Amino acid sequence: MKYFLTLLILSLIFGCQPEKEDTEKPKVVFVIGDEEYRSEESMPMLAKILKREMGAEISLCFSVDSAGYIDPNRLDHIEGLEALKDADLMVMFARFRELPPEELKYITDYAESGRPMVGFRTATHTFLYKNDTTQKQMNNEWPTKVFGQQWITHHGHFEDGHGKLTEVSILPEADTPILNGVEPFEAYSWLYHVDGGDWKLAGDSKPFLEGRSLKSNHEMNGDLDKYPLTNPVAWTKTYTGTSGKASRVFFTTLGHPFDFKIENMRKLALNGIYWALGHEDEIPENGINAELTEPYEPNNSGFGNEFKTGIKPILIP
């Protein structure tokens, strides 16, 4: 009788214990510093979906002015990069930054650590150190070895934001869960050249999406032997830095602010993040739920004061 009473008491005690919190939720840090493509709007939108779907801990690092307002035109500062020290994933959407050494080190230390990375569009030219010769390798060499290519050229802006410029299709040999639920679509992004002519994707890059330029300056100039109308727009690769551990890398050259209005683009981005984190088994056949958490109406791409002013960095609890 005492034995059964003891079992009953233990079952009541342990049965009433609250479930342990899942402490394995990844920490994802978005590095946002691009003065052309409104990454200050698209990346927080993606981050909110990621928070809803994965429960990830999110840090958003923006270029800000001296008063703390988001200013993508400020090239020499991105706030909050220390979050990369214990991050599980770095998502990079930056363009031609010239960060001071102490800020740059957070990014390069992360890249060398063997942890995964995701890059969007202008991450092929994340940095531009014009005068500091000690950092010249960051301009072209670094993005090539880490993400797969440097800045080369594109097929032309044309109707920026007022028409779709790239037809996106799935390569026949493609076999990756990043494509789950992703159908061919037309993107607002003008096609970047990353492969063909004198250029090749670096390392073990494996393209799985191809873009076809619907309007092309290079076609008009008779340069298609150097810059063909079709080029990879998404790939995976690895990067092995000084840690000796291979990082998973997902990259796409798409990223016009209006591209992210398209569900297929959002699925591609979210699936890529899951894959980079090693959570590919969690990607359903129809892809990660890419339904928006709130209306997404970004400003169009463009330089100067085309971004929404007077906005301070947001926190995603």
d(C-alpha 152, C-alpha 125), whole Å: 9
Quickly state the pLDDT bin for 19 (edges 50, 70, 90): very low
**Average pLDDT over every residue of 9-33:** 63
Quickly state the pLDDT bin for 215 (edges 50, 70, 90): very high
Q: What is the pTM of this model?
A: 0.92
* CA angle in degrees (0–180, nearest 5) for 7-12-13: 100
Quickly state the pLDDT bin for 217 (edges 50, 70, 90): very high
**Average pLDDT over every residue of 242-262:** 98
d(C-alpha 180, C-alpha 175), whole Å: 10
In the block, residue with structure tokens 């209006």: 258
- pLDDT tens for each residue of 128-172: 999 999 999 999 999 999 999 999 999 999 988 999 999 999 999
- Res 286 pLDDT > 60: yes
| pLDDT at residue number 24 | 80
31: β partners: 61, 92
Quickly state the pLDDT bin for 16 (edges 50, 70, 90): very low
d(C-alpha 16, C-alpha 134), whole Å: 61
For residue 5, count other CB atoms closer than 10 A to its CB.
9
- Res 93 pLDDT > 50: yes
Phi, psi values for residue 300, rounded to 5°: -70, 165
- Percent of the chain residues past pLDDT 70, beyond the cut: 93
Contact 246, 238 (CB under 8 A): yes
- Res 17 pLDDT > 70: no
d(C-alpha 197, C-alpha 116), whole Å: 30
232: β partners: 210
| pLDDT at residue number 193 | 98
Class of domain 26-282: alpha beta
| pLDDT at residue number 296 | 98
| pLDDT at residue number 159 | 80
| pLDDT at residue number 23 | 54
**Average pLDDT over every residue of 17-39:** 80
Better pLDDT: 12 or 200: 200
What token pair was written down for 79? 């706030």
| pLDDT at residue number 13 | 41
- Res 20 pLDDT > 90: no
Query: Of 204, 263, 205, 255, whose CA–CA distance to 94 is shortest?
Result: 255
- pLDDT tens for each residue of 136-148: 999 999 999 999 9
* CA angle in degrees (0–180, nearest 5) for 289-295-298: 110
Q: Look at residue 43 and give its three-state secondary structure.
A: helix
- Res 97 pLDDT > 90: yes
- Res 11 pLDDT > 60: no
- Res 5 pLDDT > 70: no
